[in-house]
Structure 1
Amino acid sequence: MSTTDETTPVPERRGARRDLIRRPRRRGEDRAKLRKALAEGYEAGASIRALSAEHELSYGLTRALLLEAEVALRSRRRRPRPQTAVAQ
């Protein structure tokens, strides 16, 4: 068996996902610090995708941490298509 740390044994993986690196779950103070850093970045104007890439997290985890931090998420702000002149 391989382990990610001394307390959590992880069974050996087989198949296509055997090279997957398992990262430990963020809990307690580490998670609180990460929530705060993500909230500050998001409120400064960074996108969820940019924050997830910067902190090497998945989009879903980044979004969940922002929601835990009670950050009001922005809309996706889809821009309307430009109006084209209709030929007559």
Structure 2
Amino acid sequence: MQEFTQSGGVRPFGISLMIAGWDETEGPQLYQVDPSGAFFGWKASAIGKNYANAKSFLEKRYSEDIELEDAIHTAILTLKEGFEGAINEH
């Protein structure tokens, strides 16, 4: 992402990206990459139009010892908190 914007005559990408994964020794990992190419590690975070609502919601619900099922449920509720349209099962 950052390498492309080093060429003259191109506009920088105006996006942020969240990457989630699993490390066998460290467990769950979450990183955010911003348009400059800088990256940050998080325990929980949100990006996008309504990120402030989602982050506030996560701050109230997140804990270090959260169980997987609760984490999944919290993630879904966080998406609903930040989404302005209708969310359905399809």
Which TM-score bucket, shorter chain as reference? under 0.3
Q: Which structure has the highest strand share of the two?
A: 2
TM-score (norm 1): 0.21
TM-score (norm 2): 0.21
Could you say which structure has the larger radius of gyration?
1
Q: Which structure has the highest helix share of the two?
A: 1
